[in-house]
Structure 1
C-alpha cells in the first residue's frame, strides 16, 4: 500500500476520529491541570526602541502554550520581536491539552500553540468552539531510531522494532513501517486506527513488533533492532532528532497555532504570524531545534526519506488537510 493511498485516507479519517485517540506531538507530557502566567515585561509597549507598529485595537497579546519548546520559542524569540513593534506580550503555560482551547474560546488567551490540526478539528467540533488554525510551528516528529542496528539498510528477516503502544501513535508507527516497505498494510484501512490486524503482509522481514509505553522507548533501544520514538520523548531523553534514520513524511502532525475565527483577519494575528515566519525566527529554530519538522511553507525538512520510499506527501491530500 503506497504512502499516497494512506495519505488520502488520512485526510478523510481526521474528520471522524475522537479526541481521545489523538496524541499530541512535540508537547509536554504532564497531564496536571495547571496553568502559569508569566508577567508582561514592564514598559515593553512604551519602549523607545519599539516601532509603534502594533495593532491599535489590540496592543496586548496573550499567548498560551504547553511548557517546553513552544514556550521557549515565545520567551527566546517571538516575545521580543512583537515587543519591538510596540506590543505587550504575556505568556501563559499549560500542563494539559484541554484547557488551552477552552481558555482561547473563553477569551482568556488570544492565541494558543500546542496542537496538531487533527486534534484541533476534532476538539472544536466536539466542544462546539469557533476556533481556526493560523500557522504551523516547528515540531519534534515521530522517527525511526537505531537500536542494535544503525542503518536502515541493515534491516533483516526476524528483526525487532519497538513502537509506542497507545493506539494513535502505534497506528502512525505502522504507517511509517509501510512507508519504509517493511510491511504492507491492507487497502482501504483507516490509517488513524491501524492495528496489527491491518497488516496484510509481514513476510518480507517477519518483524517482531515490540509495543511499549512511549516514555520507555528511548531507554529500551538496546533491546531491539530499531525503535520508533515520539520526538518529544526522544529530546527529553537526550536523543538528537538529527539521529533519526527516518521521520514520518506527512505534515499532518506538525503543530499549529489556533485563534478565534473572528480574529483571523486582525492585524495582530498577521504580526504574530510574521514573527513566527521571519528570517530571524527561522534561524533561531534551525539553530535551537535541529531535526525538527518545520512548517510546510518554509520549504525545508530535516531527515530525508530513504530512496526506496514513495515521498509524494507534499501533493497528497493529507498535507493539504494539515496546511494552508
Structure 2
C-alpha cells in the first residue's frame, strides 16, 4: 500500500511538473508576441518601418492592428485585446481614461505630426472673410486644441479665464471675423474639405487621407502635452516587452527613419528625441 501511494505521488508530481513547464513555456511565448494598435497613417507606418523590425530582431512577433477612430484603440487596450496603442496625445489620454474610468498610462512621447488648417479652395489666410466655413474636431480635447489655434491665427478670442486645453465653442468671447464653425468627427474632416472653406485636421487623419504638411495653409505650434504618446496598461509597465518597446523608439533605426525620410519632415520632436 505504501509502495502504491509512493508511485501515485510520483506520477502526480511528474505530470504536475510537466503541466507547469507547459504553462510556463506558453506564458513565455505569449510575452514574445506584442500586439500594437494604431490609427491608420503615420504612426502605424512608423511601427511597420522601424519599430516592428527592431522588435522582431529581439525575437518578438509583432501584430499591428489599425483603427479608424479615437475610441476603439483605448477600449481594446483596456480589454487586453492589444498590448499598447499609438494614436493619442497625453491630454486626450487623461480625459478619455477619466471619462471612461480606465487605467491607462503614457509610456513615451514620439515625433508628432501637427494639426493643420487645410483647404481645397484657398491657399492663404487672407481669403478668410465673413461667412467663411471652418470645420474642426467635435471631440473635446482636439476641439480645444483647434480653437486655441484659431485664436493664435487671430480669427477669434477665447474668454480670458478659460483653460486653453479645455476650451469649447461656449468659451469663445468674440470672433474677429464672422466665421462659421462646423464641428465634425475627427476622422471625417478630410472628407469635408469639399463642403467647407477650411478644416482643422489632426495630423494622422490628414496624412492618411493623402494630404501633405506642405499643403497646409497653417500648422500648429505643438506644445508638449499634444505630442503623441505610446500608451500601455499600468500593470505592464515593468514587463520586458515594455522596456523593449521603449528601446525600439529610442533606437538608432527609428531616429534614422524620422530624420532622413522626407515624408517625416515637419514633425514636432519631443525633447528626448532631439538629443538622439
Fold conserved (TM > 0.5)?
yes
| Partner of residue 281, structure 1 | 254
Per-residue CA distance 1:90-149 (angstroms, 9 max, x = gap): 334445544543443444433222322233223333444433110123444321235655
Displacement after TM superposition at 1:275 (Å): 1.0
Displacement after TM superposition at 1:210 (Å): 4.4
| Partner of residue 163, structure 1 | 135
What are the equivalent positions in structure 2 for 1:25-104 lying under 5 Å apart?
Answer: 60-69=32-41, 70-95=43-68, 97-104=70-77
Displacement after TM superposition at 1:211 (Å): 2.0
| Partner of residue 18, structure 2 | none
Q: Secondary structure of 1:150's partner?
A: coil
User: Are the counterparts in 2 of residues 161 and 228 from structure 1 also a CA contact under 8 Å?
Assistant: no
Instruction: Name which of 271, 281, 285 aligns with 2:244.
Output: 271
Per-residue CA distance 1:63-93 (angstroms, 9 max, x = gap): 3213523333222221111122233333344
| Partner of residue 194, structure 1 | 168
| 1:266–1:209 distance in 2 versus 1, CA, 3 Å | same
- Relative to its length, the structure with more helix (as a share) is 2
| 1:237–1:186 distance in 2 versus 1, CA, 3 Å | same
| Partner of residue 8, structure 1 | none
The structure that has the greater radius of gyration is 2
Displacement after TM superposition at 1:183 (Å): 2.4
Per-residue CA distance 1:301-320 (angstroms, 9 max, x = gap): xxxxxxxxxxxxxxxxxxxx
Q: Secondary structure of 2:47's partner?
A: helix
Q: How many residues matched?
A: 238
| 1:211–1:290 distance in 2 versus 1, CA, 3 Å | same
User: Are the counterparts in 2 of residues 162 and 217 from structure 1 also a CA contact under 8 Å?
Assistant: no
State whether structure 2 residue 148 is matched by structure 1 residue 175: yes
| 1:207–1:297 distance in 2 versus 1, CA, 3 Å | farther
Distance of 1:145 and 1:96 partners within structure 2: 20
- TM-score in terms of structure 1 length: 0.61
| Partner of residue 203, structure 2 | 231
State whether structure 2 residue 234 is matched by structure 1 residue 261: yes
Distance of 2:137 and 2:98 partners within structure 1: 27
| 1:131–1:148 distance in 2 versus 1, CA, 3 Å | closer
Q: Secondary structure of 1:252's partner?
A: helix
User: Are the counterparts in 2 of residues 242 and 290 from structure 1 also a CA contact under 8 Å?
Assistant: no
Per-residue CA distance 1:264-296 (angstroms, 9 max, x = gap): 233432221121132321332352433344445
Question: What CA RMSD, in Å, does the superposition of the two structures yield over aligned residues?
Answer: 3.3
| Partner of residue 243, structure 1 | 215
| Partner of residue 194, structure 2 | 219
- TM-score in terms of structure 2 length: 0.69
Instruction: Name which of 259, 266, 274 aligns with 1:291.
Output: 266
| 1:149–1:219 distance in 2 versus 1, CA, 3 Å | closer
User: Are the counterparts in 2 of residues 162 and 210 from structure 1 also a CA contact under 8 Å?
Assistant: yes
User: Are the counterparts in 1 of residues 40 and 204 from structure 2 also a CA contact under 8 Å?
Assistant: no
User: Are the counterparts in 1 of residues 105 and 232 from structure 2 also a CA contact under 8 Å?
Assistant: yes
User: Are the counterparts in 2 of residues 147 and 227 from structure 1 also a CA contact under 8 Å?
Assistant: no
| Partner of residue 5, structure 2 | none
Displacement after TM superposition at 1:238 (Å): 2.3
Gaps of 5+ in 1: 1-55, 301-324
Distance of 1:201 and 1:106 partners within structure 2: 43
| 1:200–1:114 distance in 2 versus 1, CA, 3 Å | closer
Distance of 1:130 and 1:170 partners within structure 2: 24
User: Are the counterparts in 1 of residues 109 and 229 from structure 2 also a CA contact under 8 Å?
Assistant: yes
| Partner of residue 208, structure 1 | 179
